[in-house]
Structure 1
């Protein structure tokens, strides 16, 4: 048991997780394209965002836990500096580029007006509380959700005693599940008024992040690590848990809120746990295949730019007069990958290299 757990603690890189990111972003691009939904799972590409959230919760919490264990404290300054250098350069490049383009080229366009008036909402990462309604910018709600998590949870890890940290986690899960199961619907309508259901903050989006956080703490404890290893640490566990998720996502349901979504989040957490514990499994090695890992490495940029790439492809296909049904997704995925790779290697890496100054 000690050997297995020590090997886990010694790993600073978890094989297979870039591949998980790749699956998540491909699912999201698929979801936003014109598509043929032959199976229920094909209409649920939006769940790729939930998968991203589980990953973020696990990786960020693991980083914070290990820093505190080694040095006795968490440097919030260094943590937030690293997050800023990873996420904000590309995001603000997009925001200010759009602002300049709208103001110079289409100042009177209704969509331009929505963007300009709501610019501060996007800039402050608040679009999960209020959506300005700009075309192709609706996806920023999830970026706002993650940024708010990066702001709050490190404070909990740094300063809260274990008992209070657990209490905060339980309370947050409890509130999210009350919303997920619709128990708060009437209260929410009374507080926020008509259209409250359109506020993304009222979805159960923090649940997968919190499950990722829980997984990080569980695996950090030798006793609980062994329990997880016995449960989802067998040789074919990564394939078995993925099979469970695929089967679950193929259950026909018009509304996945409630128990369906809760089980989905638990299944995603179990899948990531299996991949982390079984770094030499067949599936983990497949997820490390270079083209897949590359897509995972640039997945943040792909998420940031994919709606605009889909828009460009849609316009081009219409001009040529071809069918959107079969061409839009492969062309959009290819263009999104190309744009994100260019952004990553020509622009974002300049900032990523600066993160070394904030490692200790």
Structure 2
């Protein structure tokens, strides 16, 4: 087992940070455009969240395989200590900020919205609250936390799956079977579960295909690392096609059309997985996304994601005094500056610090 796990790729791939940058820019332009009278700028920018999901699935599975590689098992405490240090500082800062600023800007904001953001169940909180409460939940200052909740819940399920797999004779095979079954199960949820649009849009079970596609890629490259080089001739151009397809969806797609919720996200997950795989190889797209500006934005993408929406909500045309492109540029610039401060002052220092939970 350890011999096979030793194949896990340990190199840093800056182009993956570049892909993060593209994903978060799509999301920010989607939100900034929709609130600045420029809804046609990036009407499908929410597709960036889907790319985030698949990339996160790939990266977290790679981390888990490394963990098993190094120790022959999974140290759950250490794994979750890293996850908490990675995610909690920035997100909890925004939760506290939303609570403090709510009396000034969001009169309908409630403590249950803050609790959902802090404890990672915003997506189900939105679903249970229903359509009549959407303006308070998903359109509230912590609305984007729904995707963080999906990822955090997924990490719990993946941790359990790994703990089960390492107790079998063929752990990688067992985990691969569970990931494949989960992907098809999530696809069935997309195709068969009835209910309002937001049930499929925010449900962890419905969005699992995107995360599990990344997991599947990590497992495939772990078991067959040679497949990457052998597939290079078609994988690099396929990655470029996938990248163009993602950008086309971001710039042309209306908000979550039925086809996307009914199996479309599963298809997008495959496209995103191919794109991620292509960025592990040298090529023109890899070199482009590995450029310093993309990498820098990608490294602070988490902070930008959690901070941009509250700032956009505060910066209305009534308060700022202008609309359109000037307002959009102001929202993008100010939210990116706030993200840089959050990243450098809170996210990075606390992520690097070994707290008691990591001991």
Q: Which TM-score tier does this pair reach, normalised by the shorter chain?
A: 0.7 to 0.9
1:310 paired with 2:312, answer yes
1:128 paired with 2:123, answer yes
- After superposition, the C-alpha distances for 1:47-69 in whole angstroms (9 at most, x for unaligned) are 10010011110001011112212
1:262 paired with 2:257, answer no
Offset of residue 334 of structure 1 = 1.3
Secondary structure of the residue aligned to 2:14 is coil
The question of whether the paired residues in 1 share the 8 Å contact of 2:5 and 2:222 is answered with no
- What TM-score results when the alignment is normalised by the length of structure 1? 0.81
Secondary structure of the residue aligned to 2:92 is helix
Offset of residue 93 of structure 1 = 1.8
Structural mapping, 1:187-206, within 5 Å: 189=195, 197=199, 200-201=202-203, 204-206=206-208
1:334 paired with 2:333, answer yes
Partner of 1:178: 188
1:146 paired with 2:151, answer yes
Matches of 1:38 and 1:116, distance apart in 2: 34
The question of whether the paired residues in 2 share the 8 Å contact of 1:53 and 1:208 is answered with yes
Offset of residue 260 of structure 1 = 3.1
Secondary structure of the residue aligned to 2:122 is coil
Offset of residue 112 of structure 1 = 4.3
- After superposition, the C-alpha distances for 1:183-206 in whole angstroms (9 at most, x for unaligned) are 121xxx5xxxx8873772167321
Offset of residue 215 of structure 1 = 0.3
Matches of 2:244 and 2:197, distance apart in 1: 37
The question of whether the paired residues in 2 share the 8 Å contact of 1:238 and 1:284 is answered with no
Matches of 2:14 and 2:6, distance apart in 1: 13
**RMSD of equivalent CA atoms:** 3.1
The question of whether the paired residues in 2 share the 8 Å contact of 1:176 and 1:206 is answered with yes
Matches of 1:346 and 1:332, distance apart in 2: 21
Matches of 1:350 and 1:216, distance apart in 2: 29
The question of whether the paired residues in 1 share the 8 Å contact of 2:210 and 2:265 is answered with no
Matches of 2:122 and 2:5, distance apart in 1: 41
The question of whether the paired residues in 2 share the 8 Å contact of 1:130 and 1:199 is answered with no
Structure 1: gaps (5+ residues): none
The question of whether the paired residues in 1 share the 8 Å contact of 2:95 and 2:142 is answered with no
- The 1:149/1:76 distance shift into structure 2, 3 A limit, reads same
The question of whether the paired residues in 2 share the 8 Å contact of 1:180 and 1:258 is answered with yes
- After superposition, the C-alpha distances for 1:18-68 in whole angstroms (9 at most, x for unaligned) are 1000000000011112354668xx321001001001111000101111221
The question of whether the paired residues in 1 share the 8 Å contact of 2:217 and 2:277 is answered with yes
Matches of 1:156 and 1:68, distance apart in 2: 13
Matches of 1:184 and 1:169, distance apart in 2: 20
Offset of residue 246 of structure 1 = 4.2
Matches of 1:207 and 1:50, distance apart in 2: 10
Structural mapping, 1:12-161, within 5 Å: 12-34=11-33, 36=38, 42-102=42-102, 105=103, 111-112=106-107, 114-131=109-126, 133-134=136-137, 135-160=140-165, 161=168
Structural mapping, 1:182-331, within 5 Å: 183-185=192-194, 189=195, 197=199, 200-201=202-203, 204-222=206-224, 225-232=225-232, 236-246=237-247, 254-255=257-258, 256-276=260-280, 278=281, 280-314=282-316, 317-319=317-319, 321-322=321-322, 324-331=323-330
The question of whether the paired residues in 1 share the 8 Å contact of 2:50 and 2:265 is answered with no
Matches of 2:310 and 2:65, distance apart in 1: 37
Offset of residue 89 of structure 1 = 1.3
The question of whether the paired residues in 2 share the 8 Å contact of 1:65 and 1:157 is answered with no
For 2:178, which of 146, 161, 168 is the aligned residue? Answer: 168
